[in-house]
Amino acid sequence: MYCFRHLASYKILVCGGDGTVGWTLSCLDIVGQDAACNAPPIAPLPLGTGNDLSRVLRWGSGYSSADDPLTILKDVVAAEEVKLDRWTLIVRPEEDFKDETKLALELQTNASNTNEDNSIMIIMNNYFGIGIDADLSLDFHNARSENPSKFNSRIHNKGVYFKIGLRKMINRTICKDLHKQIVVIADGKIVILPPIEGLVVLNILSWGGGANPWNVEKHDDEFVRPTHYDGLLEIVGISGVVHMGQIYSGLGTGIRLAQAAHVILTFLY
């Protein structure tokens, strides 16, 4: 991308999953400071497992070999440009990170050290989870890191996710009573949490491979209709593994907790 820094206008086709899109955006954050076009439009060609960002931006749930590459390129040229909010997450540990933990965070999340109280800064494009969702995602990440050659198809990857989820249904102690272990402040107001085992903070209305935990079709006078460019985050609770499975399958929705432009999460342990 540095080679194209002198171009006044260009578009980027990112072939990969949501992580690849995030990495590309992080590179543009660096290169854009010296570029004639500091924010070129990006189109994702969805090759990942979940492809949530691609779904929201209407580029599809996954690339198929039947898709015509020339048609895709024409679509990229003709596509309408839309905005996407991006958020800064600052992680401030109560105790200093160990050097290896800090390095792992920086490598895996494109994070950077703020040099302030040993904090880590992460740029978020899609969403992040705490509790059972994060626990499942971590197990999947570790399994893929151990045997990357086996994770070469979307169907296989989703199958592994499903197996991990079944195991979580048997052992449900790790995230029990999450609502007693965390304080959520949204735009300066404390959010009263119901009994939950998972918390998801959303920037886009697609999660876990196409699920919509917020349920945008449900009308609620307390909240505004969310978009991925409204300057607001949606906070959703998950009561347990079964509830999470219902959301994934489209048979249920998350527990709406708050909408906010500034969120503080504090762990009590």
Please give the Cα distance from 222 to 220 (Å, whole number). Answer: 5
Q: Of residues 143 and 16, which shows the higher confidence score?
A: 16
pLDDT tens digits, 87-99:
999 988 876 655 5
Residue 252's SS3 state is coil
Please compute Rg for the chain using Cα positions: 19
Q: Which residues contact 154 (CB under 8 A, 6 or more apart)?
A: 48, 49, 62
In the chain, pLDDT over 90 holds for what percent of residues? 48
Please give the Cα distance from 238 to 197 (Å, whole number). Answer: 6
| Helix runs in 38-117, H state only | 52-56, 69-78, 99-109
Residue 142 confidence (pLDDT): 73
Please give the Cα distance from 125 to 84 (Å, whole number). Answer: 8
Q: What b/e sequence results for 12-42 when a residue is b if at least 16 CB atoms lie within 10 Å of its CB, and e otherwise?
A: bbbebbbbbbbebbbebeebbeebebeebeb
pLDDT tens digits, 142-183:
777 777 776 666 666 666 666 766 666 666 556 788 899 999
Highest mean pLDDT among 46-50, 52-56, 107-111: 52-56
pLDDT tens digits, 246-260:
888 888 899 999 999
Q: Considering the entire predicted model, what is its pTM? A: 0.83
